[in-house]
Structure 1
């Protein structure tokens, strides 16, 4: 992209081959539109709801909880209720609570994931609808902003929304102020000028005092400017691209990596503890008598195995596993992150 902020207004106009009093011709506009495209953000289909829901269960700790809930459900299904009519209902209560927590966690996660789509919609809402543009020597007072191309000469006045990234060429008032807090985070309107203020082609946004960015507003003053970046090449377009790239990233965040590592370690620990608890009670469901004259060798004809007692102690091990798993941890973490994001949005720290 041409670094318009690093050159004088005359050099910028010469680079785009445009007369500020005449503007671009219709033929030149069509030629440049073929090269640069329309002045609009890229549109991608939203992620389907079912895929967002499935993504919430792609977590080690959640998978461990699903496994525990499945085992608890199977044991509750096989358990005999006896004379108590509420016994079966109580047996299904534990896996039901786990599933309910996971469903709530998935709902909060889907709501949080949808914030990225909301952020993209917010960026689109910040874009202007029409602009005042010089074309073929005439001022078009309400040209749709998507029709702009690099090199178009636009007029900006107080209250206008900047239609694209533009390089100021001439100020009509003594002071021109721009409201660009949504882009740079500056809490007050900043002064702009038509002079080249940054010699380096690579400088921070705040240093580009001769550039007004698409989506920002004119707080006071009026000026003439030339469009130097449109669509996805604008600063707002770069933000949208970064949001989409972050949403499509395959690599997990450091927090998710730590949670996955914690879940795997916890799953292994719980597995071995449950196996140990079940084996420690082996004398309750497995017994035999030793051979005459031996203190250790069993008499295989006397080996007795109780399936009911083995199942009972297996249930005890599963109950221990379910109790050791922090069922509420995924929901608590997701909720805290969502509430934190909402607080930041309310304070305008993020879009």
Structure 2
């Protein structure tokens, strides 16, 4: 399916995402057109099983789709990725009733999903929630605040990570915005990915039906590490390869078009040629590592875990370095908004600090390489 999925994603990126990317960034508005177009093309169901109306896609499909969308508009790509993560975690253990109520509409683009995992107090350790959660009269009662909820106020399905059941492990409970006590607070003011509405979700004694739990009580920790983590890391790596590729293309086009009074172009300068060469190597290396990591994860190979971690680090750091080099090639024009390079540069700053951060992943990789337990 990878070829078809990637082709469709690239078409949407070229026809809808890229033409709107500058406006979304400057106005800091939610990318509803791009997400609607992805829904119409069936890509909203990329990780939803075919039995629930989805594409039944793989992590390899997700990697290539996210790369195409990251090339077009990073804000839209992140909203799409979080939808994929949300539907993947629900789909991993959905009951028939949950599939009918949530996954089938989500596959058609009629119900947007996201994740509500992060908390300000837990920081990069999103897998250790501090939100207040309890059971009462047949419901889960949630109180607290989730941070950096992408598509906050726009999504219809919010899998929330809590410890509500009292069982060992954690719980993933789907909260819908119609429940009394659910609110959203603040505006997204990040330097990049300006349109993704990554804001706070507030929960004030929200009574959630017990039927909204994903899987059994205590399944949350396995869902985080077995489903959410690989899906998010692979998808985020794809988005960042796309950002880096876009910056490389823009820098090359600028170099060809920028002409000195002598008639020489910027592309004729050896230092510029070497810079573009280094950028292309970084992009292709990150892309190849990402695709190998996704393939290994799809195959269930033992090497998949370190490869997935490496892919996220490599792709996000390639995006940062490639966009930095593109800024230097673009010079004063890149520093202004006359070129989209500065947008790519800002969008590329987020990946390294998205949890698990690159520093945390390096720690985990070191432990894996030396045979130490992760926790």
TM-score, scaled relative to structure 1: 0.27
Higher helix fraction: Structure 1 or Structure 2?
A: 2
> Which structure's CA Rg is the greater one?
1
Q: Which has the higher contact order (CA 8 A, sep 6+)?
A: 1
